[in-house]
Amino acid sequence: NAFGNSEVVAMSANVVGGTSNPDNFVGQLNDNTHSPVADPLAHLPLPTWDPASDLGEVAMSGGTVTLSPGFYSGGITLTSNARVNLLPGMYILGGAGLNMSAQTEIYGIDVTLFITGTGKVDMTGSGRVMLAPQNDGVYDDVLMFVDRRTGGLVNILGGANFIAHGQMYAPASLVNIGGNGGAGGDPKMGFLLVCDELDLSGTGSVTFIRFPSPEDCYD
């Protein structure tokens, strides 16, 4: 679905299940002319963790913190210029999931974020997101994995300076992606995206880069 002044620009796009506002698609749109593609990550196992090793909730308003991988039952919530650096590894986020607003920042290389329970991904406002996935093991190249049992919502909206490399796997989720123009306000995503439904909106642009360098995730 492409709403408002949003556009999808591609040399060719194969769509199964129909589109809204086909005039918002620039390029060859093949609507309902192809068979569905099998889930390329259906084999991916759910991560396991020890609930007793609970790192709780991270809720920050301003300031900078470096986090270690592990189970965060309350998730990560950032407001008012808070900055988080993620050390390499797997982050299990329940509760709020990953919630960012108001010019917050998150950085990490060799990380995977697994969103489970009531968690969702909510990135809005003029924040900065620069993330790259693990490059070996079971979750090689998987940046975000939204639990297929819960299908938490994914919002990547607003003026966020969003640069991400890897794969976003949200097979049961609605994913909303939108920019609002302006310097640094258009998300740039270099990943395979698997989701149940995709909505594009806003007046800016969303750029999918095939293979950005993980090193671009830092200044």
Q: Cβ distance 29 to 22 under 8 Å?
A: yes
Residue ranges of the domains in the chain?
53-217
The tens-digit pLDDT sequence of the chain (219 residues) is: 767 666 666 666 777 777 777 777 766 767 666 778 889 999 999 999 999 999 999 999 999 999 999 999 999 999 999 999 999 999 999 999 999 987 899 999 999 999 999 999 998 877 788 899 999 999 999 999 999 999 999 988 866 577 788 899 999 999 988 776 444 456 666 678 899 988 877 765 566 665 445 555 444
Q: Cβ distance 193 to 85 under 8 Å?
A: no
Angle at 144 between CA 141 and CA 146, to 5 degrees: 135
Give the count of alpha carbons within 13 A of 65, CB side only. 13
In angstroms, the first-to-last Cα distance of the chain is 33
Can you give the length of the chain in residues?
219
What is the model's pLDDT at position 203? Answer: 66
Of 5, 11, 41, 36, give the one whose Cα is nearest residue 23. Answer: 5
What is the model's pLDDT at position 204? Answer: 57
What is the pTM (predicted TM-score) of this model? 0.86
Question: What's the rounded Cα separation, in Å, for the pair 94 and 92?
Answer: 7
What is the model's pLDDT at position 218? Answer: 44
